[in-house]
Structure 1
Amino acid sequence: MTSVPSQPAPNTYVPEAEVVGLASELIRIDTSNYGPEPGPGERAAAERVAELLDEVGISSQLYESEPRRTSLVADWSPDGVDASVPPLLIHAHLDVVPANAADWQVDPFAGEIKDGCVWGRGAVDMKDFDAMLLSVVRARAKAGVAPRRPIRMIFTADEEAGGLLGSQWLVDHHPEHIRDCTEAIGEVGGFSVTVKDDLRLYLIQTAEKGMNWLKLIADGTAGHGSMRNLDNAVTELSAAVARIGNYKWPDRITASQQAFLNAVSEALEIDLDPDTVEATLQRLGSISRMIGATMSNTANPTMLQAGYKHNVIPGQATAAVDGRTVPGGEEEFFATIKELIGDKVHYEEMVNLQAVETDFAGALVEAMQISLVAEDPQAKAVPYLMSGGTDAKAWARLGVQCFGFAPLKLPPELDFVGMFHGIDERVPTESLEFGARVLDRFLAIA
């Protein structure tokens, strides 16, 4: 295990000094992503990030795939870095999913600090990490304290809609900003799950499921609603949707998933029965919902559309299916979908992003463990497979080894998984400050 290097003298700088204020400020910039529908875009947030970096002498470039769909790229390679090491890519997205203010206790775009938390859309997905990164980098830059290696920061647009206008676009049009990086860290990893008083597992994302969004299409014979119709598109589509929605996918345990299950087995001091794993995982709290979804491929119908009048049988009906595939599971996924929909329904692929997986090993992983333990002696870093997707899918296309590491020490009672895209999204201020300190230590040794 790598030894902990000496840190700058106490009070040289405070890495967490600005993190709460920055998180609140960024939440107040509405960057709601409505998918194909018009929205505010990320331009205002990207410009503010550029200003914050410029204030400490770090220049950046803004790229727009479409008007106001803005991503930012910045290089930080001050005197003192080891220039012989490839840059570490640190990525964070600027967009958020929409929020209906009527459902919230607070204005989702006010960045309110209440009950020891920063509230608002993006508080955990992922303006918290935007703020951590900016707070740490600004503190180090002002104090003249370099990271160990060059840092490539990319703040992306459109992650919440698959990254087609953000990370995927950058890979296609500006790969020069990514291809010299061999490793990357980003969101949905590094957060704690309290197992017992003297042990917290910090889940490091080493894999994420593939994203396969499908449009199901059933064609039939249009006609009057009062007539018999044996070629009804709505009937055929409904039956196919029901078969998909009710299908139980077989378990497919990947290397990352098995490593996580082994860590849980050791932590709980029990042998996990493959037939009751999901029930056992409930002992870990809300994280069990995310882990349970990674035991197999999944396919969930999410939208239906057909017809325009009560007494008219439409000639076509469509449905949307959100498919997620474990690493290595895509072939099985499509074969199963074709079988389930039958001969009278076909599909179009709307989004096809491959699953990614990397080994939980190497100097970067050691640096994560060292940094976490330095701030939380009860910490143990473990790998896991995430059910959703991130911009890592884009960077992996260029061979970058990607990890989810946005460290947060969380209260055991917080439904952290429920915060993602949920109502009353919030993050404890102490968790933000903890994350900034861990990230600061990590940059010193990574």
Structure 2
Amino acid sequence: MPNDDRSDAPQTAHDPAAEVVELCRDLIRIDTSNYGDQDGPGERKAAEHVATLLDEVGIESRMIESEPGRTSVIARWGGAGAGGRDDGLLLHGHLDVVPAAAEDWQVDPFSGEVQDGYVWGRGAVDMKDFDAMLLSVVRARQRAGRVPERPIVLCFTADEEAGGHKGAQVIVDEHAEELEGVTEAVGEVGGFSATVRGRRVYLIEAAEKGMAWMKLTARGRAGHGSMINTDNAVTRLSAAVARIGAHQWPVRLTPTMEVLLATVADLAGTEATPENAPALIEEFGGAARMLGAVITNTTNPTMLSAGYKVNVIPTEATAYVDGRFLPGFEDEFFATLAELTGEGVEIEHVSHQQPWETPYEGHLVDAMTRSILAEDEDAVVAPYLMSGGTDAKHFRRLGMRSYGFAPLRLPADLDFTALFHGVDERVPVDALEFGARVFDRFLDDV
């Protein structure tokens, strides 16, 4: 795709963080709530905004709309230097956000208000902050003629918050030519700091659990609520849900978490073992909420539905379960789930996506580490496994090595992981500016 070829232009100083706060605020003000169904405004308005921002600096983009309003943006940039590299790098973020109930918030969740040194609003950490960092850095570099020699694909997707089926999956399945030559990818939920024993540890996402969103259905014999009924769908389903929700999954350490726990053990003056893994996770404070979920498989019942009248035993009862399984432990997960569910309950997959794990090594890892240490020289950098899912699950199907790297230097007392999909979501202004500077350094080194 053509853009302004400024490889021969003199390179000038630039400020990669100059626009990042205002760009983040502007994106938050565009409501892109994703309810997981046909409701919601879609991403079209945000996609048009991003396309305009790229066009203003001479980067041509393409909008891909899977259905009316569900819009992603993709553009090619870089690759104009004398290095002759042809191995592309994908930088991706998503435009949709989960819904927010305004009455629960201290501020309007779509105001992008700056208060107490934070940018507030839905998407401030998931993930319009990274979208803003990426756009701020790209626009500054493009204006200054500092276009990377490596070919870059910029991608801002729809529908990530509902599994990416109307965004990244469509791009991979129907528009793979847009990603031709791409060998590596960098996206969200990595590069943020957590404080352990007084040291900032920056967590690079190098793996994700697999996703098994499941609908459970039990069927039985309908009848009068006053009579004996030994074939009650509600009873059968409730027992299965209770077993699934109460099950204690065993600790299983993947290569990524072995590296992270060894790093933490070193700070704590001990050694990492499966037995003390939960204690080492607690060293992360609030972040243990996320990290505690990546040393085991997990199953959380989330929805229940049955019946239409108190004195009528229904024929059918349904429940939904959010299951997440570790890389390498899918067979164990589904075998155990079948035992817990028992007979007479059907399992249907609403979304079934594979886990992934990228070796924490190589030039891209070195570049991420160097860029953080250049801005925070006393930091520790280590990989982690993500409990949730990102669009990387789809892009990985094209063979890309993937990482999560949206760098943020965070206050030690901020319960950052609680802000994901939470009330009063917000990101520090100085963390946004830090992230833009780090990512700019990263692009110098990729």
Measured against the shorter chain, the TM-score band is: over 0.9
Alpha-carbon spacing, 1:328–1:151, altered in 2? closer, same or farther (3 Å): same
Q: 413-422 or 173-182, which moves further after superposition? A: 173-182
Is residue 79–residue 152 contact of structure 2 (8 Å, CA) maintained in 1?
Answer: no
**How far apart are residue 276 of structure 1 and its match?**
3.4
C-alpha distance in 1, partners of 2:287/2:416? 8
Q: Is residue 84 from structure 1 mapped to residue 67 from structure 2 by the alignment? A: no
Superposed, 1:207-286 pairs within 5 Å as 207-286=207-286
Is residue 219–residue 317 contact of structure 1 (8 Å, CA) maintained in 2?
Answer: yes
Is residue 187–residue 405 contact of structure 1 (8 Å, CA) maintained in 2?
Answer: yes
Aligned equivalent of 2:350: 350
**How far apart are residue 11 of structure 1 and its match?**
7.5
Q: Structure 1: which amino acid aligns with 2:101?
A: N
Aligned equivalent of 1:4: none
Aligned equivalent of 1:113: 114
Is residue 31–residue 41 contact of structure 2 (8 Å, CA) maintained in 1?
Answer: yes
C-alpha distance in 2, partners of 1:9/1:361? 34
**How far apart are residue 380 of structure 1 and its match?**
2.2
Q: 1:230 aligns to what SS in structure 2?
A: coil
Aligned equivalent of 1:168: 169
C-alpha distance in 2, partners of 1:179/1:331? 33
**How far apart are residue 9 of structure 1 and its match?**
11
C-alpha distance in 2, partners of 1:59/1:167? 20
Q: Structure 2: which amino acid aligns with 1:374?
A: A
**How far apart are residue 226 of structure 1 and its match?**
1.5
C-alpha distance in 1, partners of 2:82/2:236? 62
Is residue 187–residue 406 contact of structure 1 (8 Å, CA) maintained in 2?
Answer: yes
Q: Structure 2: which amino acid aligns with 1:334?
A: F
Aligned equivalent of 1:34: 35
**How far apart are residue 430 of structure 1 and its match?**
0.2
C-alpha distance in 1, partners of 2:21/2:165? 30
**How far apart are residue 271 of structure 1 and its match?**
2.3
C-alpha distance in 2, partners of 1:36/1:330? 28
Aligned equivalent of 2:5: none
C-alpha distance in 1, partners of 2:311/2:197? 61
Q: What is the RMSD computed on CA atoms of the aligned residues?
A: 1.5
Alpha-carbon spacing, 1:357–1:273, altered in 2? closer, same or farther (3 Å): closer
C-alpha distance in 2, partners of 1:111/1:235? 47
Q: 131-140 or 343-352, which moves further after superposition? A: 343-352
C-alpha distance in 1, partners of 2:175/2:217? 36
C-alpha distance in 2, partners of 1:404/1:33? 22
* Percentage identity across paired residues of the two chains: 60
Q: Runs of 5+ in structure 1 lacking a partner?
A: 1-7
**How far apart are residue 265 of structure 1 and its match?**
0.7
Q: Structure 1: which amino acid aligns with 2:229?
A: N
Q: Runs of 5+ in structure 2 lacking a partner?
A: 1-8
**How far apart are residue 215 of structure 1 and its match?**
0.6
Q: 2:412 aligns to what SS in structure 1?
A: coil
Aligned equivalent of 1:205: 205
Is residue 148–residue 443 contact of structure 2 (8 Å, CA) maintained in 1?
Answer: yes
Aligned equivalent of 1:185: 186
Deviation string 1:253-286 (CA, Å, 9 cap, x unpaired) is 1111111111111122222353332233222211
Which portions of structure 1, spanning 4 or more consecutive aligned residues, are displaced by more than 6 angstroms? 8-11
**How far apart are residue 195 of structure 1 and its match?**
2.2
C-alpha distance in 1, partners of 2:180/2:11? 37
Aligned equivalent of 1:294: 294
Superposed, 1:42-441 pairs within 5 Å as 42-77=43-78, 79-80=80-81, 82-197=83-198, 199-441=199-441
Deviation string 1:149-201 (CA, Å, 9 cap, x unpaired) is 1210010000000000010111110111224210010000001112244x321
Alpha-carbon spacing, 1:81–1:429, altered in 2? closer, same or farther (3 Å): farther
C-alpha distance in 2, partners of 1:81/1:194? 41
Is residue 193–residue 200 contact of structure 2 (8 Å, CA) maintained in 1?
Answer: yes
Is residue 233–residue 316 contact of structure 2 (8 Å, CA) maintained in 1?
Answer: yes
C-alpha distance in 2, partners of 1:403/1:99? 28
The number of residue pairs the alignment matches comes to 438
Is residue 82–residue 150 contact of structure 1 (8 Å, CA) maintained in 2?
Answer: no
